[in-house]
Structure 1
Amino acid sequence: MSSTIKAIQGKAAAIRIDNLDTDQIMPKQFLRRIDKSGLAEGLLYDLRFDTQGAIKPDFVLNRPQYAKSKLLLGGSNFGCGSSREHAVWGLLDYGFKAIIAPSFAEIFYSNAMGNQLLLVALPVEQVEQLMALCERADAPEISIDVENLEVRCAGLPAMKFEISRRHQEMFLKGVDVVGMSLSYMNEIMAFAQAHWKQQPWTQDVAARMKRQIPVGDGPAN
């Protein structure tokens, strides 16, 4: 189970790219990993490194002042392209806790929120204001209040955002989509028991069918 998330606060890095797709966020050569760890290496690889594998010093995430950023500011339609969940895992493994952008691709949004990477959609004008502030030498921290659904940053009025009640509860309870389902286990079992009482022939169908199949040596040649 993940820890509860009532607020996320920290420095933000801005990537001024609209339609940043999941192929760029996590290139295909890093999809061979079978778990979520170690994917930070591949995050935005072609933007962070040149063709020889050398660091591009001008890219925002390679600048020292953004080395420990917890928040990412992005352009419209962030996370479009293929449905690879590795893109979300890589962002989390790199240390990002939230992304603020004008809009997100639908599948990426679902993958991110299900893995406790908070996505906040704000109007273009407000995202631009945040980007302008975070690019200053004396950039203030940004705070995202999950309980009250507000983004706050010194020098700007509070910015309201919306997420579904289900997603909000997942962050406040510290659970992913599986954990959220398990939190309703009592209700699920009560429904199942009532269903089986009314239609007992539907209970354990697979197990009963398996017991009826004779065990042999397999089909004859």
Structure 2
Amino acid sequence: MDKFTTLTAVAAPLPMINVDTDMIIPKQFLKTVERTGLAKGLFFELRETPDGKPVPDFFMNQPQYKGAQILVAGDNFGCGSSREHAPWALLDYGIRCVISTSYADIFYNNCFQNGILPITLPKAEVDKLMDAAKRGHNARISVDLEKQEVTGPDGGVIKFEIDAHKKHCLLNGLDNIGLTLEKKSKIDSFESKQHGTQPWLYAQAGR
């Protein structure tokens, strides 16, 4: 998993509340277990009409938001079913940070497992950043995870809170597997001792 330390990027606005995981990545794109190639399904039913025409005012169809890596979203982002494809699709498109007032718990935790920083801010601050994001190319927002700061296009600094353990994992690019591998030497040492004291545990496994 890629580390998240600092990010300065164009912010895209999504001024909608209760954007669920089916809106983020519709069910027809869930047939794969690969984490790549999902950007084509990101917000598919929001950015295209039923007859396949682009919705002109959706940010993914506007050139000023090409390459956006920050998404400013409405309340309760990522609600609905617990599909990890939702953060996969965001990441595949290039989104590394989401800013909202609230998230569904499962989506929120899945973001951290995939190198995305979900920032929670008061509504007044999100509204301010949403207005800034609507300016397009002028809406470059900076995020410093170590300092826990968001700097808006006007230079104003907003502090945010984050769980210390989740912060450590993002700064060091550690998902659950990475956290386990940090303890590899202790695991190897334990198994080596167990081989000697309880060899029957390893006999059927051929170890």
TM-score normalized with structure 2 length: 0.90
Please list the CA deviations of residues 121-145 of structure 1 after superposition, one character each: whole Å capped at 9, or x if unmatched.
1111100000111212562310110
Give the match for residue 144 of structure 1. 143
Q: Distance in 2 between matches of 1:191 and 1:119?
A: 36
Q: Distance in 1 between matches of 2:23 and 2:154?
A: 33
- The answer (yes or no) to whether the contact 2:20–2:78 under 8 Å persists in 1 is yes
Deviation at 1:192, TM superposition (A): 5.8
Give the match for residue 129 of structure 2. 130
Question: 1:12 aligns to what SS in structure 2?
Answer: strand
Larger Rg: 1
Distance 1:72 1:147, change over 3 A: same
Give the match for residue 154 of structure 1. 153
Matched, 1:101 2:100: yes
Distance 1:210 1:40, change over 3 A: closer
Please list the CA deviations of residues 164-188 of structure 1 after superposition, one character each: whole Å capped at 9, or x if unmatched.
2222222222232211221122344
Deviation at 1:210, TM superposition (A): 6.5
Give the match for residue 208 of structure 1. 203
Deviation at 1:66, TM superposition (A): 0.9
> Unaligned stretches of 5+ in structure 1?
212-221
> Unaligned stretches of 5+ in structure 2?
none
TM-score normalized with structure 1 length: 0.84
Q: Distance in 1 between matches of 2:75 and 2:5?
A: 26
- The answer (yes or no) to whether the contact 2:2–2:115 under 8 Å persists in 1 is no
Give the match for residue 40 of structure 1. 39
Deviation at 1:156, TM superposition (A): 5.1
Moved over 6 A (4+): none
Comparing 158-167 and 143-152, the one that deviates more: 158-167
Q: Distance in 2 between matches of 1:3 and 1:176?
A: 10
Give the match for residue 17 of structure 1. 16
Q: Distance in 2 between matches of 1:6 and 1:137?
A: 24
- The code of the aligned residue for 2:101 comes to P
Question: 1:178 aligns to what SS in structure 2?
Answer: helix
Give the match for residue 164 of structure 2. 165
Give the match for residue 61 of structure 1. 60
Q: Distance in 1 between matches of 2:165 and 2:137?
A: 36
Deviation at 1:204, TM superposition (A): 5.7
Distance 1:140 1:44, change over 3 A: closer
Q: Distance in 2 between matches of 1:57 and 1:210?
A: 58
- The answer (yes or no) to whether the contact 2:78–2:107 under 8 Å persists in 1 is yes
Deviation at 1:76, TM superposition (A): 1.2
